[in-house]
Structures are given as C-alpha cells and as structure tokens.
Amino acid sequence: MTLDKNWFSEQHADAGSAFSLKIKKKLHEEQTPFQHIEIYDTETFGKLMVIDGCYMVTSRENFIYHEMMAHPALFTHPDPKKVLIIGGGDCGTLREVLKHRDVNQAWQVDIDEAVTRLSEKYFPELCVSNGDGRAELLFEDGIKWIQESEPGSLDIIIVDSTDPVGLAKGLFGEAFYRSCFHALDADGILVHQSESPLYHPKLLKSMHKAMHKAGFNATKTHHFPQPSYPSGWWSATMACRENTGLDGFREDDVRNKIFKTRYYNADMHKAALAQPEFCKEAGLG
C-alpha cells in the first residue's frame, strides 16, 4: 500500500513494521491474468517492481538475493550441468546460474510472461543472459512442469518464488517437494527461498519438515540480508538426499571463480550457514 503519493510502503501488520521507499514516479501498472504488477522509479533504490503489493526486486540490492539463490547451491553440487529455476521471472537468478560455464542447460519456468517482459524493459541488467544458448524461458505452471520431468534429469532446482500465498502456495508443500525429489539426480540439490527467519519461523520449520517427508535426508538454511524484504533478513533452504551432502562446498572453486559477484564469496558462503541460537533451538537450520 502507499502512505502518500511520494512513498511506496509495504506494511507487515503482524510484525508491526513497514518498509518504505520514496518514489519519483510510477513507470508502469497492469493486472495480468495472474497478478497485479507495478514498476516505480525511486529516489535511492533505482527501479522497483511490486507484485500484489509486495516488493519483488529493486535495482540497488537485488544482487544479494540473486547471488545467494544461485551460487551456494551450484558450488555445493559436485558438477551441476542441468538447472531448473521455478519462478524467477525477473531473470536475475538465471543470470547468476549462467555465470557457471559448466552449466549446459538452464530452464526458467515462470507462469507470468509479463514479469519477464517488464524486467527486460525496466531491469535490463538482470536479463543479460536471456539470449544465452543454454537458457530456455518457459511461461507455464512450474508445478506441472516438475511433475512431468524425467526422474533424475536435473542437478539443481531453484525455487525463486513469491510468498506462499496465491499462485505460489503450492510450491511450499510436501507434494511439490516430492516431485522435486524424483526429478533430481543422486547428487541433486533443491534450494527454495524461505522467507524471514525472524518473521516467518513457522513457515521455515514447516518447509524443513515437508522436505524430509518428501525424501530429502539433509536440509540446511542459509541466511543473508535483504533490505527491501520483510525484516531485512532473508533466507534460502537447501535439501539433498545424502545426510552429509550439504556439509561442505567447493571452496577452492569459489575462491578461484572466473566471474564477478558483488556479495557472494567463500567467506560469505560459510557465514551464511552459521545458525543463530534461536534458529537452532527452533529447528530452523
């Protein structure tokens, strides 16, 4: 919701908080068959995309989220070749995935094509890999797509979804995670954005439980700041078959990576896996 014509504010009634950005002007607004999308030009955070009243991406700090959705999982897998992104219509996660030269196929499956087309116009820096020959952009139901995938055909599944309401609600349950489990190879890794540990601990705990019920033996949440998201503290949760499959990562490969990142590095990877005491006590790690 807006506080006045010069500010856009996303309020979180249950937490008694809000995050606001000063707006220069509204650039675009439309109701697609799936959701309501707005694009703003802000005073200090560059462009802002809002979906159904919630912050989705800003020019200033999206790199943190996109790097942390992609690189921890890809550097944990021993040799990722085939990567699926469910959601991620702004294409920033796809850009990060395709920085890995060993990836030879990446599918991005987002139900709403408008998100991608608007990103190409207003966030072109996120879409620089859309024309990469390894990328395939599909605009369809990600749940259905993964259900129809060949068993063991994927190395990494990244669920870059909106909050667990409306269209995205089905992405946060055991049935969906079971479909992901069957689509992944023996070393496969699932990573799912998992909201704020401070504001959404019940959701985080339910995700870990559902992933284990779906067949994953190891789950681990990594943490990172995200100023425009609720509480400013965000997370992503990984899952894999092997009990010890998430205990380490290819640290030497990270330190010797040949592409640039702005947030992610080997030290941040290790730091992101450290669990605050309340997360340990609540089983959120």
Note whether 250 and 76 are within 8 A (CB).
yes
Note whether 215 and 179 are within 8 A (CB).
no
Residues 6+ apart with CB under 8 A from 163: 54, 195
Q: Structure tokens of 81?
A: 């070749």
Does the annotation count 160 as an active-site position? yes
Pick the catalytic residue: 112, 160, 187, 247? 160
Note whether 86 and 160 are within 8 A (CB).
yes
Note whether 106 and 136 are within 8 A (CB).
yes
Only one residue has tokens 């290790």, namely 270
- Minimal CA–CA distance to 11: which of 189, 231, 198, 195? 231
Q: Coil, helix or strand for 226?
A: coil
The catalytic residues are 160
